[in-house]
Chains A and B, each alone.
Chain A
Amino acid sequence: MGYTLFEKIIRNHSSAKKLCVGSIVEVDVDRMMIHDFFTPFCIEKFHMMGFSRVKFPDRIVFIYDHLVPASFIGDYRHHKVAEEFASLQGIKNIHRHDGVCHQLMHEMGYIKSGDIVLGTDSHTTTYGALGVLATGIGYTEMAAVLGTGKLWLKIAPTIRIKIDGTLSEGTYSKDIILQILADISIDGANYKIIEFQGETIDKMSIASRLVLSNMSVEAGAKAGLIAPDAKTIQYLQKHGIKDDIDLIKSDDDAEYEAELNYRAEDFLPMVACPSSVDNCVHVCELSNIEIDQAFLGSCTNGRLEDLEIASKILRGKQVHPNVRFIVVPASIGVYREAIKKGIIELLVNAGVIINHPSCGLCAGRSGGILVDGENIISSNNRNFLGRMGGNEVNIYLGSPATVAASGLEGRIVDPRRYL
């Protein structure tokens, strides 16, 4: 019997002779990412554990993104503690204000297909789109990984999601993943791997693939994998990877726990309603939800193609007067590209507020927090109670096109009429 992509990556990182679903193996970790929210806690645990030196300083990446720029006096401590630790331990990979960790990790050439990557953030699953086995862990566990370079993992079963056909205009990978979440629910892949396959995935841009893997964790998945192809290699090489990349993929006779099949033509623009990511409806079924704010950004949908879609819809028009429309490019690289292409100018002329690359509003502490009773349409990944300010803020999630069209109209609308 063949192996899944997940099992193959594990085999390349472990000395275990036999692998079967449910068994626990120790693996070598290629990269460790820690963001500023958790640096003080992780470093404190590292010392409490009695470690004095990190095992592989070059494999560690510190990214400041949740608390950039600082919003409260206490935020500074997170960066100060990280700087002291990095200088003592010889950790040179630090990004202080370059953007969201889940954009920088691949954009700055830290990861490649076949790697095992851990991050202190649940959306570390994002890199699965590049054939990387990437998942989130807590800061205590990360402290141990810093000291040992290893982690124990359970061999999880894989759910294969195959999508064939061509998406119709106005629907995007965000709509696909919201539909999948509606179908399998927010624990539908708990402790499991999702692997996306099919011609729709093959045709998709890397940016769109990243959305699927990013939100796989919203179904509880340990990883959301896509096998690397020529497009993946081209992307990684463009972003600094010099090593040869193995086109690793699941064997034809690999065993999946479940298989779901979709036709791309069947997807429609979707919106996740408060306050669960699987509480989804087709946007055309919503009647007259007025919005106070629109947010385009985050590790899910803050990339160049997302800003480009929004700019197409907002070109020559004005954001609705009752709406605060906030855009946060996912990285400084995305920001610069968007400036070069005239996208930023166009958005500013339409009345959009541009904030510095960071997690922004998705981290719920700055950049436009809302008060109880307000409604927001957002391109991020979670609409949990209290995530963006007050406990009674209503967060609706949709694609960048849905966010842009809604920002224009002042209520949640189907973006297909605006393209």
Chain B
Amino acid sequence: MIHSGHVIKLPDNVDTDIIIPTQYMTLETIEEMVPYAFTPLRPDIPDKVRKGDILICGDNFGCGSSREQAPEIIKLLGFYCVIAKSFARIFYRNSVNNGLLVIENKKIYDRVKEGSKISIDLEMHQIQTYSGELIEFGDFPETVISIIDKGGLVNYYREMNMKDHS
């Protein structure tokens, strides 16, 4: 499957307090938190993002707290995936568990600008930039694929528990 989308770009070390500031975390639903996403750094993002956009980030994306609202909000904003030079550990696990596609790649960052269009081929493990350049990314571990394929950990266990009960 090949997906194309526009790029929104963020720097190194974007922490989870930036993705969703603490003061909005007792709102009852993720939908209510969405307008406040990225407000300390990029308050324009919630209005600007279009469905299928691709978030391209520097090193250590999602560092800081364990708040899972961070990947949930990124998914709900409509981002197809996050490509970062590297991810913080808890954020990476939380993304997989919520069915948000996360790709680690160091090369793409300097080769795209905010607003440019890129394509991602998940079968070939390739990203194509607007100028036609192809960039390879690595394979995912099997556990990760099976969880993302099911749309996250909730669906993964729901299916398992339904089987157990039937």
Binding site for B on A (CB under 8 A): 24, 37-38, 40-41, 45, 48-51, 67, 72, 74-75, 77-78, 120-122, 136-141, 143-144, 147, 152, 186-187, 190-191, 220, 222, 276, 363-365, 382, 384-387, 391
Contacts and interface: CB of A to CB of B under 8 A. Distances in A.
Contacts of B27: 74
A177 to B, nearest CB: 16
B154 interface: yes
A385 B41 contact: yes
B22 A363 contact: yes
B18 A384 contact: yes
A387 B161 contact: no
A67 B23 CA distance: 11
Interface of B: 13, 15, 17-18, 21-23, 25-28, 39-41, 59-60, 63-69, 86-90, 93-94, 97-98, 141, 143, 152-154, 157-158, 160-162, 165
25 contacts: A37-B25, A37-B26, A38-B67, A49-B157, A120-B66, A136-B66, A137-B66, A138-B66, A138-B94, A139-B68, A140-B153, A140-B154, A141-B93, A141-B94, A190-B86, A191-B89, A220-B60, A382-B64, A384-B18, A386-B17, A386-B18, A386-B21, A386-B22, A387-B17, A387-B22
A384 B15 contact: yes
A121 B93 CA distance: 14
A121 B25 CA distance: 14
A51 B40 contact: no
Contacts of A38: 67-68
Nearest to A392: B40
A17 B23 CA distance: 46
Given A67-B26, A121-B66, A140 B94 contact: yes
Contacts of A365: 22-23, 26
Contacts of A143: 153-154
A138 B59 contact: no
Contacts of B17: 364, 382, 384-387
Contacts of B152: 140
B68 A144 contact: no
A384 B28 contact: no
A190 B60 contact: yes
A114 to B, nearest CB: 22
B40 A385 contact: yes
Nearest to B91: A138
DSSP class of A's interface residues: helix, strand, loop or mixed?
A: loop
Given A50-B158, A138-B97, A141-B97, A77 B40 contact: no
B98 A140 contact: yes
Contact of A122 (B23, B25, B90, B160): B90
B94 A391 contact: no
Nearest to A40: B28
A141 B40 contact: no
Contacts of B88: 187, 190, 220
A256 B17 CA distance: 32
B90 A136 contact: yes
Contact of A49 (B41, B93, B161, B165): B161
A74 B158 contact: no
A137 B141 CA distance: 19
Nearest to B152: A140
A220 B41 CA distance: 21
A245 to B, nearest CB: 28
Contacts of B165: 50
Contacts of A137: 66, 90, 93
B26 A78 contact: yes
A235 B79 CA distance: 48
Contacts of A49: 153-154, 157-158, 161
A191 B98 CA distance: 19
Given A77-B28, A140-B68, A386-B21, A187 B90 contact: no
B89 A190 contact: yes
B131 to A, nearest CB: 30
Given A50-B157, A365-B22, A386-B18, 5 more contacts: A50-B161, A137-B93, A191-B89, A364-B22, A364-B23
Contacts of B59: 187
A385 B13 CA distance: 12
A222 B90 CA distance: 8
A67 B88 CA distance: 26
B93 A386 contact: no
B17 to A, nearest CB: 4
Given A49-B154, A49-B158, A187-B88, A384 B64 contact: yes
Nearest to A124: B66
Contacts of A384: 15, 17-18, 64
